[in-house]
Structure 1
Amino acid sequence: MPLSEHEQRVLAQMEQALYAEDPRLATTLKSSASASGHGLDRRRVALGVLGAVVGLGLVVLGVMSQMIWVGAIGFLLMVLGGAWAAKPPARPKLGVVGGDGKGGGGGGGRRGPRGPRPSGGSFMERMEQQWDKRREQGL
C-alpha cells in the first residue's frame, strides 16, 4: 500500500531532521538498509521450499511402503524446510559506541574494561538502594 502525500511529506521531514541532527548516523542507516535489502532471502526460500518438497515426497514414500520411520523423517524435513524458508534474514550486528560518540575500537565483540562495580550484593539489592536514594533526594 503506497504512502499518502501527507505521509510522504512527514517521512521526508523526518529524514531531513535526521540528516541535520546526525549526518553520520543517517548515512550509515541508509547504506545498511540498501545493502541488506528487505524481505526474505530468495536463496533461503528456495532451499527451504526444496527441502519441504523432498520431505513431502518422503512422507508419501513412507506411507506407500508402510515404513513409518521414512514418513517421520520426511515430515521432519518438511517442517525444517518451512522454518528455514520463513526465517528472516540475519541483521548486521551493532557495534559499541564510545564515550565520545564515535565507534569503538572494533574488538570483535570484546568488551572494554569496566568501571568499578557498585557494592551492595545482588541486582535487586542495588535497585532497592537506588530507589531509596531517589526517594530521599526527592523529599
Structure 2
Amino acid sequence: MPLSEHEQRMLDQIEQALYAEDPKFANTVRQTTPAVHYKRWIVKASIGFALGIILLMAGVFLQQPVVSIIGFVAMLACALWGMSGWRRAAGGGGTEKTAAASRPKQRRQQRPGMMQRFEERWRRRQEGDQ
C-alpha cells in the first residue's frame, strides 16, 4: 500500500532525525535485511541442535532416560526452528501468501478491492471532499 505524500514527508523527517541523532544505529538498521535475521536463527538452531546431541549422548552414557528425552526434544525443536529460518532466508516459506503472489492479479485490475476503497475514502476525507 503506497503512502500518501504527507505520510512520506513525515517518514522522511523521522528518518533524517534518526540519522542526525544516532548515525551508527541508523546505518546498522538500514544495512540489516530480514535474511540476515533468519541466518542468525539458523546459527542459533545449529548450536541448540549440537547441545541436544550432547544431552542425548550424556543421557545414554549416564543411563538417565529423562536427560536423553530432553536432548531429543531439544534437537527436534532446533531442527524445526532451523528449517523455518532456512526457508525464510531463502525467500520461500511455502505459504499460500507466496503462492497467491505468484498468480496473475487479474481480479484486482478489474475491480478495486475493499482496502483500495477504504484508502480512497480516507484520502477524500483528508482532502475535505467528504
Q: Which has the higher contact order (CA 8 A, sep 6+)?
A: 2
TM-score range, shorter chain: 0.3 to 0.5
Question: Higher Cα Rg: structure 1 or 2?
Answer: 1
| TM-score, normalisation: structure 1 | 0.40
